Every structure is written in structure tokens, then in C-alpha cells.
Chain A
Amino acid sequence: MSRSISPVIPGFGLTLGYTLVYLSLLVLIPLGAMFVHAAQLSWAEFWSIVSAPRVQAALKLSFATAFAAAAINGIIGTLLAWALVRYTFPGRKVIEAMIDLPFALPTAVAGIALTALYAPSGMLGQLAASWGVKIAYTPIGITLALTFVTLPFVVRTLQPVLADIPREVEEAAACLGAKPLQVFRHVLLPAMLPAWLTGFSLAFARGVGEYGSVIFIAGNMPMKTEILPLLIMVKLDQYDYHGATAIGVLMLLVSFILLLLINLLQRQIAKS
């Protein structure tokens, strides 16, 4: 390896090698094994598994609820990040610490707690029921659990970006006659958007795969509130390893395409 130009950062070879080994052991080999397993199915078999009405219903539900949860966090998470970065108020440190709790809590615990609260007999569930809204055991409940679990992503990706936008920039824009909405639209939004999209896609991807919290609040009714990860467990419980991997591959492909699209969108924004 007699390269004339040595990289600026020392240890490039070492870190690259480490990264590749690490990625292979943790990501590539397990995912590859899944594809190998699924490859034992013919196209027709694969298609008949993933096109089954129950799988299709679960596919729509999983991606729709994950998208809704990511969107909700996109709005509320932005507000939270904004408040935490721009204002000092009593208890800010506590709230700051609480943001990460959904990551630390076992998801099953979160699921059971949310169900107890939002079930028709629960404290908030009763209130909702009196308005004629059912939360637990409906897609709303699933979205709620996913919103909880993926809360930190948007907040944590936006915070450093917001902190980097000096207040003076807003003031300068205001001095030049920009209305608050214009300041947001032309100054803040372009700076925030790439990070926001990252947070959104992380929350979305995490939501699609979430299992532990959702199964308690979903009610798991076939065709109605059954998520894709549950169908994988159902297949495994029938010792149907092929069926389980087929659904796994399907989830991976759809997620990959969606994340790729978000990435392209991000690039487009960065260019303009």
C-alpha cells in the first residue's frame, strides 16, 4: 500500500477496518442470513405469503401508524426542542432528562402503563370514552405507543441545530422587515429541515419495527389492529421460519425504499 497521499486523519485504515468488521458482525451478516433464508422460497411462494390479506392489512397499519407517530413527533418534538433550547425556565433540566426516558424504559412496561391509562376503564380512557373516542385497542392506541417510544428522536436531532442558529440572525431578519412567519419560513426552516428529516426518518424506522409496547395496547385483532412484527411472531410460533423471514424481508425492503426517498429529499434540500 504505497500510496503517495497519506490521509490527514491518522489511523484511517484501522478505523475503516474496525467499522467494516463491526457492521458485518452486527448488521450485514444477520440481515444477509435472513435474505438467504428467504431465498429458499420461490417467487410465487414469497408472493403468496406477503400478498395474503392479513399481511397486507398489517403492512398498511404498521407503516401508517409509524408515519403518523413520526409526524406527531415532528411537530411536538420541534416545539419541545425549541422550548428547551430558547428558553430557560424552572424545571428545564428535569424535562431535558425526561426526554430520554422512553429509550430507557423497557417497551413492554411502557405498553402496559399506556394501556392501563387509556383502556376504556383507565383514567384517560374513561374521559375519551365519554367523548365517544376509543384509544386503547385501536390504531389510535398503536400510534400513541409509537409516539411515546420515538419521542426522543426529533427532539435530540433538532436541539444542536437550533442551538447553532444565533438569535442575531432572527433579529437581523426582523430588522430588515421580515414578519415572524417570514422569519420562520425563510430563516429557521431551511436550517432546521435536514436535521428534522433525519429525526423524522429515525422515528419512523423505529416505529415500524416496534413490538414490545404495541402488542399490549393494540388489541391484536386480525385485519384490524395487528402489526407486522406481531405477524412475524405468529409465524414463528407456528414454526414457519420461511414465512417469518419473508415478512421480515418485506418490511426491510419497504423501509429501505422509504428511507432512501427521505435521504434523496434531504439531498435535494441541501442543494437548493
Chain B
Amino acid sequence: MSIRHFAFASLASLFIAGPVAAAQTLLNVSYDPTREFYSEFNVAFNKHWQVQGNEPVTIQQSHGGSGKQARAVIDGLRADVVTLALAGDVDELYKLGKLIPENWQQRLPQSSTPYTSTIVFLVRKGNPHGIKDWDDLVKPDVAVITPNPKTSGGARWNFLAAWAYAKQHYGSDTQAQAFVEKLYKNVPVLDTGARGSTITFVNNQIGDVLLAWENEAFLALKEEGGENFEIVAPSLSILAEPPVAVVDENVDKKGTRKVAEAYLNYLYSDEGQRLAAKHFYRPRNQAIAAEFSTQFPALKLVTVDKDFNGWKTAQPKFFNDGGVFDQIYQAH
């Protein structure tokens, strides 16, 4: 599916790369669960943009696995802005493609992450296994569903959240590794992406608990059959910070820098923040976060930057070839 998506994205780029039309178009290359949020945000931004006396702008969205989307942009998809799942993927736009400057993350407030999310547990109705916290996931009779962190951005947040919990409760790296090893022994299926895991858990009814993005978990409850599930918030989780960036190389070629920058800045406006919250992303703006305080449980959240020294350290240590995740599976 991903190959097909990639091929499609490349094909789409052929058309998008054509002569610049009179009306400006903006391509937002994003990851999977933001689809509904950006559909609504694009309409709101367009209104705001025209109120300021500008021509209307056509905004196109592209969604897929975060890593694959980054690769499509590196390989030539003419994205004006990227809104991906982790900073590590946006870093590659600098490292492999030199499409953005190295300090891209300092160009917008809060390290260029206008909204955040976290990792929660989705369990079956009535919580038959009594799952309350990470410790319950390593019990021998519990089956945990989570995608493969090597192919899924969301799965990397899951992994790090489990690690952070174990580190705080059991102390050393060795013990944290033993904990996640035990947890992954309870994983019967490693799907390649978050959507695949949701299908496995919801449709194929495999497993007792799904590790999910908070916004995905809320979406699952809203959809048909949502009454069969419950959200459980663990005592500690991770602050997932999906970053946004203007792709300098592309906006300068297409002459869309002004509108692209306005687009991302609008994510920080009151309306942008409110829309994010409506789609179950945690807003950065404290006042607006307070409006939605009943929706989001207060959680103790660790961050990748403080607790893992950023993605530049975490990615090679945990997920590259020979990293902790590989060691877990090579051990037995």
C-alpha cells in the first residue's frame, strides 16, 4: 500500500510541478491521522487569508506514513509545507535533501510544534483485563497491539513511552530494556503502520490493548462500533510533538513562501488551536487548552528532547539497525 502511495505521490508531483496557475496552490504533505483536522483547518485558513485581502488559495493535502511522506518530498514531491509525525523525519529533509536549513525547528514557536499529542491505551469495553498502567502490559496473558517502530513513526512514540515508564520505575537502562523486551513478547502482530494496527485491533479483534495516538483513540471511539472500546490513560506517557515546516527550496521555486508561512503561523492562532483541540490534538496555547481541559486527562509527560536527548540521539540508539529494538528480537 505504501509503495502505491509513494508512486501516486510521485505521479502527483508531475502535475503539481506544472506551470504556476493564476491562483496559488499550496501542498501540505502530512502523516496519516491529521486528515480530518487539516480538511477543516484549510477552509478556516482560506477564509482568514481572503479577509486579509488576498486571492483565495487552493490547498492540497497528502497523507501517509510519516517516513514515507518525508522520503517522497526528498525524492521530489513539491510540498510547500510538511506537517509530519516526528522531528526526525523533518530533519531528513535537511540531511538528505538540503531542502530546509538545519535550524528549521527554531523558526516557529515551541520548536515548530503547534499542537501535541500523547500515547494512550485503547482497551475493549469493560476493560476485561483490568489494564491501568504500563505494568499491566507485561503480564503474561495480555496481548498488546502496536506497529513496528522501524516502519511507523507512531510506534516509536509508543516504544519510548514504555521505556520512559520503565526507566522511572526500575532505574537502569538494562532494566528498561528487559521491560520493553517483555512487553514486545506480548505483541502477536507487528503491523507496518498505525492504521494497520487499528485494523488488527478493531476489525480483526486481535489483542487486549492497542497503544495509540490519543487523537486516534478518540477518533476510534467516535466511529461506528466505538462503544466497544474504552480509553485508558497510563500514569506516565510521552509528549508527542508533531512538527511543521516550510520547505524553503520548493516555496522559493514556486513563489509561495508568503502564503506558506502564513498557513503555518495560523496554526498558532486561537482558531487554529481550537480546531486542533476539536480534532483531539492538545493545543499549545494554555488558555485554549484550559477550555478543553475536561477532554484531555492530565498526564505526567516526558519529552524526547529532555529525557532522550532529542531524536538525533534516540533514533540511532533505539531504532536503527543493531539498536535496542533489533536487540530485543535478536536475543531469542
CB neighbours (8 Å) of B330 from chain A are: 53-54, 222-223
> In chain B, what residue has the closest Cβ to A49?
B321
A–B complex contacts, Cβ < 8 Å, 21 sampled: A53-B330, A54-B326, A54-B330, A106-B4, A108-B1, A112-B199, A119-B205, A122-B204, A215-B192, A216-B191, A220-B190, A220-B191, A223-B329, A233-B2, A233-B151, A233-B192, A234-B148, A237-B67, A238-B67, A238-B319, A240-B321
Does B189 touch A at the CB level, under 8 Å? yes
Partner of A212 from the list B1, B65, B151, B321 (CB cut-off 8 Å) is: B1
- The docked-state distance in angstroms from the alpha carbon of A240 to that of B199 is 28
- The docked-state distance in angstroms from the alpha carbon of A72 to that of B93 is 46
Interface members, chain B 287-332 (any A CB < 8 Å): 319-321, 326, 329-330
Do B326 and A239 touch (CB < 8 A)?
A: no
Do B150 and A236 touch (CB < 8 A)?
A: no
Does A184 touch B at the CB level, under 8 Å? no
A238 touching B326 in the complex, CB below 8 Å, given contacts A216-B196, A221-B190: no
Do B196 and A222 touch (CB < 8 A)?
A: no
- The docked-state distance in angstroms from the alpha carbon of A232 to that of B251 is 32
Do A238 and B206 touch (CB < 8 A)?
A: no
Interface magnitude class on chain B: 20 to 34
Interface secondary structure of A, over-half rule:
loop
CB neighbours (8 Å) of B206 from chain A are: 119-121
CB neighbours (8 Å) of B1 from chain A are: 108, 212
Does A230 touch B at the CB level, under 8 Å? yes
Most buried by B among A108, A119, A211, A239: A239
Partner of A121 from the list B204, B319, B320, B321 (CB cut-off 8 Å) is: B204
- The docked-state distance in angstroms from the alpha carbon of A232 to that of B330 is 18
Does B249 touch A at the CB level, under 8 Å? no
Does B20 touch A at the CB level, under 8 Å? no
Does A148 touch B at the CB level, under 8 Å? no
Interface members, chain A 63-118 (any B CB < 8 Å): 106, 108, 112, 115-116
- The docked-state distance in angstroms from the alpha carbon of A112 to that of B205 is 13
CB neighbours (8 Å) of A137 from chain B are: 188-189
CB neighbours (8 Å) of B51 from chain A are: none
- The docked-state distance in angstroms from the alpha carbon of A226 to that of B329 is 12
Do A119 and B67 touch (CB < 8 A)?
A: no
- The docked-state distance in angstroms from the alpha carbon of A222 to that of B319 is 13
Contact string against A for B residues 175-212, beta-carbon threshold 8 Å, 1 for contact and 0 otherwise = 00000000000001111100010010001111000000
> In chain A, what residue has the closest Cβ to B74?
A239
CB neighbours (8 Å) of A234 from chain B are: 148, 150-151
Cβ-closest 8 pairs across A and B? A222-B329, A121-B205, A237-B67, A219-B189, A119-B204, A220-B190, A108-B1, A234-B150
Do B204 and A115 touch (CB < 8 A)?
A: yes
Does A243 touch B at the CB level, under 8 Å? yes
Number of interface residues of A (CB under 8 A): 32
CB neighbours (8 Å) of B65 from chain A are: 237
> In chain B, what residue has the closest Cβ to A55?
B321
CB neighbours (8 Å) of B68 from chain A are: 236-237
Distance in Å: Cβ of A219 to nearest Cβ of chain B: 4
Does B92 touch A at the CB level, under 8 Å? yes
Does B22 touch A at the CB level, under 8 Å? no
Does B71 touch A at the CB level, under 8 Å? yes
Does B21 touch A at the CB level, under 8 Å? no
A238 touching B321 in the complex, CB below 8 Å, given contacts A112-B199, A222-B326: yes
Most buried by B among A53, A215, A223: A215
Do A219 and B196 touch (CB < 8 A)?
A: no
Does B23 touch A at the CB level, under 8 Å? no
Distance in Å: Cβ of B10 to nearest Cβ of chain A: 13
Most buried by B among A54, A122, A136, A216: A216
A239 touching B92 in the complex, CB below 8 Å, given contacts A53-B330, A220-B148, A234-B150: yes
Most buried by B among A120, A137, A236, A237: A237
A243 touching B199 in the complex, CB below 8 Å, given contacts A54-B330, A119-B206: no
Distance in Å: Cβ of A233 to nearest Cβ of chain B: 6
Distance in Å: Cβ of A213 to nearest Cβ of chain B: 10
- The docked-state distance in angstroms from the alpha carbon of A149 to that of B95 is 39
